[in-house]
Structure 1
Amino acid sequence: MAIDVFAEINNAILDLQASQLQTYERPLKKLIKLLRCPDLEPYNAKLTEGLNLELFIQESEKTGGSMVGSSKLAWPDDSEKAIGMTLLLIEKLAADPSYAISFCHHFFYSGSKVISGIHSLAGQLIIPFARDYKAYIQSKGSVEPVLSRSLSRKVFIVHGRDDGARETVARFLERVGLEAIILHEQANQGRTVIEKVIAHGDVGFAVVLLTPDDEGCIKGGSPGPRPRQNVLLELGYFIGRLGRDKVCALKRGDLEIPSDFAGVVWEAMDSGGAWKQALARELVAAGHSIDWNVVMR
């Protein structure tokens, strides 16, 4: 899954504004980590090309008088160079949080509390920078910087009453190096079932077992086998959360398939074990590395 970098940058700034002396370092470090994400690096290199941060700070220090906080930052006239200089400055402050306190006291003095300077820095410098920085990146075309989360090795198994199918799939996943997440094996902690599903939804893949556990039909029709209702609910949840490419449905026997799911590929969970190769292919397509020697055993 991917994260909107600009949204996360705003969150880091909000955290910085609300921080105290014991907590300001974390959002500051998070901020520069977000600003240095790979998608933004080409633009950062262009913005900071030829800039000398140390010279900028030295020139800025010359502007002060005898009063605390009277110094002013000597910004370049060019707006893009000013954005680049701010980027370098944030990086320096994040690398040395103790210097950040001294710097803010010198250039953003805002009362007797030490943390006030950090808050002033966030409001007067970082918030306008984030706005201008985003506008600059977006002005360069269709750019949507994202952070890619590392692919979780956890695989959620959605199942009905067929314990044998559940255990067979779980053991197969474990043999190929993945962690099978089975809901009833997780602590309840006073939560409802759907709350537990959501709490354990930080997985990289979901396997949904469509087994003929219930019977149902259209009003007036003849009852036929179908999956349990919770299985269908969780099937839709994981398709929405992970995307269809990270959900594999294994169908056992002859049963009714939800009409909204028609056209989506499902794999037959046959007794011969061909389903293992089919599931392995889906896992590989979703980004997992699989040892095919283990699959074929």
Structure 2
Amino acid sequence: MDQGIFRQIENTVNDLRSAEFNTFDRHIKKLSRLLHSETLEPISSALIADVDLDAWIRSGEATQGGTVGSATLEWPSDPQKELGLVILLIDRFAQIPDAAMDFSHTFYYAGNKLTANVQNMAAQMIVPFARDYIEHVKTATGTTEATMLPVRSGPAARKVFIVHGHDEGARESVARFLEQLGFEAIILHEQANQGRTIIEKIEAHGEVGFAVILLTPDDIGGMKNSDDLQPRARQNVLLELGYFIGRLGRARVCALKRGDIEVPSDFGGVVYEPFDAGGAWKQALSRELQAAGFDIDWNIAMKR
């Protein structure tokens, strides 16, 4: 099995997580083509056999109450049929772009904006599908080489790096919230130096499987000879953001952005979640952790 196909699926799924309304169509079509590529077509065809997508959707629509977004989907207990349903959905979205908008509005409602709905659908449905689909392919083909897709991790791997600037309040808020969820927060400045560089400190914690990057307005900057200076994160924080994207993969990195600051425009697929005073960032971070394969206690995550 060509490992490159796995990486292409991962990258496309991460693009979908941050896709705007006008770019979703391109990425979903690419994902559909990958699932039906010469390598994967036999496996995908077997998964969609005897799966009735329309009957399943109608059953979910029948649960719609008086509140928008109250409809729920009854997922089959057979994991292969679940994979088959999502493959058929992806194919339909690729053929009929409006179908994705309607489906996400009904079952993954996140507000009045279409983009918010499709991004929520991508995070809650397509990301877990991609992880489980690749594991299914690896099992079916005897492939054992690890990929960068998120996998379910046990309690021993519940460790998260926190990369931060000068905002100690933001750092402590994130660290305490992660601890409430049962994670160990690894804050680099609290780790003994022992003559090591920052990168060497990171490498010493090879078992850490997720990173939270706090982008806070600690510096200002702009174009040379320009008086228009904008708040931005410290340069070392941006360096470590890029490092973790390369080391862990985009699906295992969550960037929390405080205020209106400049962010890198060339880190494709990275989702910048607002670090708001109201605490909605806690649910956003919890969704990212869950999408990466970690179990989340939503009773704790929903507390403000």
TM (norm. structure 1) is: 0.50
Counterpart pick for 1:209 among 208, 214, 220:
214
Q: Which protein shows a greater Rg?
A: 1
Residues 206-228 of structure 1 deviation map (CA, whole Å, 9 limit, x = unaligned): 00001010111111222211100
Question: Unaligned stretches of 5+ in structure 1?
Answer: 1-140
Residues 78-97 of structure 1 deviation map (CA, whole Å, 9 limit, x = unaligned): xxxxxxxxxxxxxxxxxxxx
Structure 1 outlier segments of 4+, above 6 Å = none
Which residue in 2 is equivalent to 1:218?
223
* Closer/same/farther in 2, CA of residues 227 and 273 from structure 1, 3 Å limit: same
Instruction: Quote the Cα distance in structure 1 between the aligned partners of 2:286 and 2:263.
Output: 23
**Once the 2 structures are TM-superposed, how far is the Cα of residue 261 of structure 1 from its aligned partner?**
2.4
* Closer/same/farther in 2, CA of residues 186 and 160 from structure 1, 3 Å limit: same
**Once the 2 structures are TM-superposed, how far is the Cα of residue 200 of structure 1 from its aligned partner?**
2.5
Does the 8 Å contact 2:213/2:241 carry over to 1?
Answer: yes
Relative contact order higher in (CA < 8 Å, ≥ 6 apart): 2
* Closer/same/farther in 2, CA of residues 258 and 238 from structure 1, 3 Å limit: same
Residues 52-99 of structure 1 deviation map (CA, whole Å, 9 limit, x = unaligned): xxxxxxxxxxxxxxxxxxxxxxxxxxxxxxxxxxxxxxxxxxxxxxxx
Which residue in 2 is equivalent to 1:121?
none
Instruction: Quote the Cα distance in structure 1 between the aligned partners of 2:207 and 2:219.
Output: 29
Instruction: Quote the Cα distance in structure 2 between the aligned partners of 1:262 and 1:244.
Output: 9
Q: State the AA in 2 paired with 1:207.
A: V
Counterpart pick for 1:241 among 247, 252, 258:
247
* Number of equivalent positions: 158
**Once the 2 structures are TM-superposed, how far is the Cα of residue 196 of structure 1 from its aligned partner?**
1.3
Instruction: Quote the Cα distance in structure 1 between the aligned partners of 2:163 and 2:266.
Output: 18
Instruction: Quote the Cα distance in structure 1 between the aligned partners of 2:206 and 2:245.
Output: 11
Q: State the AA in 2 paired with 1:240.
A: G
Counterpart pick for 2:295 among 264, 286, 289:
289
Instruction: Quote the Cα distance in structure 2 between the aligned partners of 1:142 and 1:294.
Output: 39
Residues 167-210 of structure 1 deviation map (CA, whole Å, 9 limit, x = unaligned): 00000000000000000111111112222122234311100001
Question: Unaligned stretches of 5+ in structure 2?
Answer: 1-139
Which residue in 2 is equivalent to 1:93?
none
* Closer/same/farther in 2, CA of residues 201 and 229 from structure 1, 3 Å limit: farther
Does the 8 Å contact 1:205/1:247 carry over to 2?
Answer: yes
Instruction: Quote the Cα distance in structure 1 between the aligned partners of 2:176 and 2:163.
Output: 14
Instruction: Quote the Cα distance in structure 2 between the aligned partners of 1:278 and 1:219.
Output: 36
Which residue in 2 is equivalent to 1:169?
174
**Once the 2 structures are TM-superposed, how far is the Cα of residue 259 of structure 1 from its aligned partner?**
2.0
Q: Secondary structure of 1:260's partner? A: coil
**Once the 2 structures are TM-superposed, how far is the Cα of residue 146 of structure 1 from its aligned partner?**
3.2
Counterpart pick for 1:270 among 258, 271, 276:
276
Q: State the AA in 1 paired with 2:288.
A: E
**Once the 2 structures are TM-superposed, how far is the Cα of residue 153 of structure 1 from its aligned partner?**
0.5
